[in-house]
Homo-oligomer: A and B are copies of this chain.
Amino acid sequence: MNKIIETVPNFSEGRDEAIIKKISDCFCNVSEVRLLDVKPDRDHHRTVVTAIGEPEPLKNCVLNAFDVAIKHIDLTKHKGEHPRMGAVDVVPFIPVKGSNMNECIELAKEVAKSVSAKHSLPIYLYEAAAASPDRQNLANIRKGEFEGLFEKIKDTKWKPDFGPDKVHPTAGATVIGAREYLIAFNINLDTSDMKIADKIARAIRGSSGGFVNIKAMGVELSGRGIVQISMNMVNYKKTPLFRAFEMVRSEAARYGVNIVGSEIIGLAPMEAMIQCADFYLRLENFEMKQVIENNL
């Protein structure tokens, strides 16, 4: 594959295995598309699909998944712990390799245009694809959920970006957009003191004065008798892993605490890892094409 885009669509069905399979099948046996993960959650009544691929074939998979989900999911009968607004609830596109954010925004708009027309489905664009700052945040758009949307959509402030100004009776509305790759990165400390973990988390996360692209909280690893700084790195390009690591190291040292290890949960783009080699080896003029695998 020359260009790789990732999509992580969320569907409001986490219990009926036959429907979940019909949805995930949309991403299987398609040339230039790879299904990486399917995570159904019974309590959330929600399934998160992760797939990567070339833009065009990936788009077609997503369109097929919309057809299946809208046919089989009825939000008037849906209850779950997770906030939701649509049968296909949210669809982000993420540039992974050889592609940029603008392409993902375009892809989001193409999908929005296509599904809104075909299914009379209202679409909101979010994150990097948002038309205005108050639509960047998914939680803002989804506030009120499916049930509240019937009133909310009448407010001109919440006119959909694509499709009718009218909620789809069973499929609600969908939020589609483009964002950077999110890396789940945790750092473990040689202390059991949660107060220290909380202080470091506050120091490092954007919401309390730290890095704009880091969400962080302290977590107790009671089995190991230690604490962890659990982070979501929402833009590794601008706020790389090594910077979070060095910042946590520095803050922890202030309490006489050391880093004993870290972990990356799930997947990370090669570039996020190579950035770390580049930083710590103090490489001069290193280019990604010097990685053999990038010549294929």
Which A residues contact B (CB, under 8 angstroms)? 1, 4, 6, 34, 36, 52, 96-97, 188, 241-242, 245, 259-264, 266-270, 273-277, 279-286, 290-293, 295-296
Contacts and interface: CB of A to CB of B under 8 A. Distances in A.
A286 B1 CA distance: 25
A216 to B, nearest CB: 16
Contact of A293 (B269, B279, B284, B295): B269
- From A264, A266, A286, name the one whose CB has the most chain B CB atoms within 10 angstroms: A264
Contacts of A286: 263-264
Contacts of A279: 280
Given A264-B283, A277-B274, A277-B276, A292 B96 contact: yes
A269 B284 CA distance: 17
A234 to B, nearest CB: 16
A292 B4 contact: yes
**5 residue pairs, one from A and one from B, having the closest CB atoms:** A276-B277, A280-B280, A273-B277, A261-B284, A270-B293
> In terms of DSSP, what is the predominant structure of the interface of chain A?
mixed
A72 to B, nearest CB: 28
A34 B296 contact: yes
Number of copies of this protein chain within its complex: 2
- From A262, A273, A292, name the one whose CB has the most chain B CB atoms within 10 angstroms: A292
Nearest to A36: B295
A147 to B, nearest CB: 37
A97 B293 CA distance: 8
A281 B277 CA distance: 10
5 contacts: A245-B280, A259-B282, A270-B291, A270-B292, A273-B273
A269 to B, nearest CB: 5
Contacts of A245: 280-281
B267 A292 contact: yes
A155 to B, nearest CB: 39
A239 to B, nearest CB: 15
Contacts of A280: 242, 245, 276-277, 279-280
A194 to B, nearest CB: 20
A275 to B, nearest CB: 8
Contacts of A281: 241-242, 245, 262, 276
A277 B280 CA distance: 8
Nearest to A53: B296
A24 to B, nearest CB: 16
